[in-house]
Structure 1
Amino acid sequence: MQWIEKSGPAAELVLEAGVMRWCAGRLPVPEVLAIEAGLLSMSALPGVNLTEASIDCAVALTAEALHLIHSVPAEGCPFQADWATRLHQAEHRVKNGLVEQSDFDEVNLGRSAVDILAELQAQPPLPPLSCFTHGDACLPNFLTRGGLLTGIVDLGRAGVAHPAQDWALALRSMRDNFGSDGERLLRKQLPQHCADEALLRRFRLLDELF
């Protein structure tokens, strides 16, 4: 068996290992092999990430991956990634100076993390819809080989949340990697309950703080 290692804060790796174990049998995720302080060992999945695929393949498999993830029954899922949870995490990151403001999207460059947090805190309640979500649904986190979806990785932010969170980040990632044509094509796959532009912008803005 081929395997890979991921380093990082112990608490984050323990959480990600827990998510992968919960997803086993539900989604094509790596198998957790071992976890020690600051190091997570897992099985290597076949294929390359979607940034190396053709635009048509990337669009089709991103949509397939999101539909697959969001169809996982969320009942009994111990991992929460809802708005209140993520906003609390964002508040902690801003308070402790953990936000890299130079990495903001172009539209937000020049703003401060405190300013973005204040805008997020003023948002109205989300529509009452939730499912299991990836949490960082960007193209590098979906794998393909032979035109098939072969893996879903980097699950440390997965949990029950509004599905628009995943679509917002997937659309941005598609634009970053394939330009406006890629984003336009993926938007054709966007479910109606995630098509509200203000909702998508809200989740893109939240992601600036992570």
Structure 2
Amino acid sequence: MAVLLRRRHNGVVQLRSTESPILIGKSAARVFCVTREDGVQWIEKSGPAAELMLEAGVMRWCAGRLPVPEVLAIEAGLLSMSALPGVNLTEASIDCAVALTAEALHLIHSVPAEGCPFQADWATRLHQAEHRVKNGLVEQSDFDEVNLGRSAVDILAELQAQPPLPPLSCFTHGDACLPNFLTRGGLLTGIVDLGRAGVAHPAQDWALALRSMRDNFGSDGERLLRKQLPQHCADEALLRRFRLLDELF
């Protein structure tokens, strides 16, 4: 079992610490910024053990490839990672948010996918969605406004009827929303919340980034980010398809 920074191996607290919750986002996981009395800070995330193990594996694979947190320790249901500098892009100016979202996606998608052990392709994600719908894990009240009133079963049926995706894949973030990109001084300083990362079609990331930009900066933000949209991700039916899939997560 991993030894967490604020505990001895026998569970005795070494130094007092305070926890500040990080509330942004819809994830069921609980995330805290922990500050020890000597000023050392790190992030602790609690949630299902299997999901945290997967996220830790992704971060370790991304180390040296992307500006992601360092995994400090992991035990059943609790992941400790380094705190990266900066604030998330919801706190940036619209121009900064647009520029750094595009930069982050280009950076992520340029990571060589050869040998990547993490798959997030359509078949994988659809299988996960089927499991979530079958087990009643989908929050239908959280659907986008355009889908309110629909059932998870109805959305799943539409997704299952979709034709095959264009044959294009790369390493992707999987939840490319503004809160998951950090900035300080106008620079991209961090990419976080990587539990859904893996090899997939890049339109998945652009679809969620455009929606997040609209949610945080309105139609102007979405319009500006669309100017950065690669041609192979510009098909509106493709973008809608990935937004619809995300409703089930």
Q: Going by fraction, where is helix more abundant, 1 or 2?
A: 1
Cα deviations by residue, 1:134-164 (Å, 9 ceiling, x for unpaired): 0000000000000000000000000000000
Shift of residue 2 of structure 1?
Answer: 2.4
Deviations 1:105-138 (A, max 9, x none): 0000000000000000000000000000000000
Quick check: 1:18 aligned with 2:57? Answer: yes
Partner secondary structure for residue 203 of structure 1: helix
Whole-angstrom distance in 2 between the partners of 1:109 and 1:7? 30
| Aligned-residue offset at 1:53 | 0.1
SS of alignment partner, residue 127 of structure 1: coil
**Identity percentage over the alignment?**
99
1:186 corresponds to which of 225, 231, 243: 225
Structure 1: distance between partners of 2:47 and 2:41:
21
Work out the number of aligned pairs and report it.
Answer: 210
| CA–CA separation in structure 1 for the residues paired with 2:221 and 2:48 | 34
CA RMSD of aligned residues (A): 0.4
Shift in Å at residue 57 of structure 1?
0.1
- How many Å separate the matches in 2 of 1:70 and 1:193? 13
Find the aligned partners of 2:107 and 2:179 in 1 and give their Cα distance: 17
What displacement does 1:80 show?
0.0
Distance of 1:200 and 1:8 partners within structure 2: 29
Deviations 1:161-209 (Å, cap 9, x if unpaired)?
A: 0000000000000000000000000000000000000000000000000
CA distance in 2, matches of 1:85, 1:179: 32
3-state secondary structure, aligned to 1:201: helix
Asked if 1:83 corresponds to 2:122, the answer is yes
SS in 1 for 2:208: helix
After TM superposition, the runs of 4+ consecutive aligned structure 1 residues lying more than 3 A away are none
Cα displacement (A) at 1:68: 0.0
Give me the whole-angstrom Cα distance separating, in 1, the residues matched to 2:83 and 2:140: 33
Secondary structure at 1:3 match in 2: strand
* CA apart distance, 1:44: 0.2
Q: Within 1, Cα distance between the matches of 2:91 and 2:183?
A: 9
Matches of 1:46 and 1:6, distance apart in 2: 17
CA deviation map 1:42-83 (0-9, x unaligned)? 000000000000000000000000000000000000000000
Q: Which has the higher contact order (CA 8 A, sep 6+)?
A: 1
Deviation at 1:85, TM superposition (A): 0.0
Q: What do residues 81-111 of structure 1 show as CA deviations (whole Å, max 9, x unaligned)?
A: 0000000000000000000000000000000
Structure 1 gaps of 5+ residues are none
C-alpha distance in structure 1 between counterparts of 2:139 and 2:225, whole Å: 28
Partner residue, 2:160: 121
C-alpha deviations, 1:24-49, integer Å up to 9, x for none? 00000000000001000000000000
CA–CA separation in structure 2 for the residues paired with 1:26 and 1:71: 10
Aligned: 1:147 with 2:208: no
CA distance in structure 2 between the partners assigned to 1:35 and 1:187 by the alignment:
38
Give the TM-score, by structure 1 length.
Answer: 1.00
CA distance in 2, matches of 1:4, 1:123: 39
Which consecutive residues of structure 2, in runs of 5 or more, have no partner in the other structure?
1-39
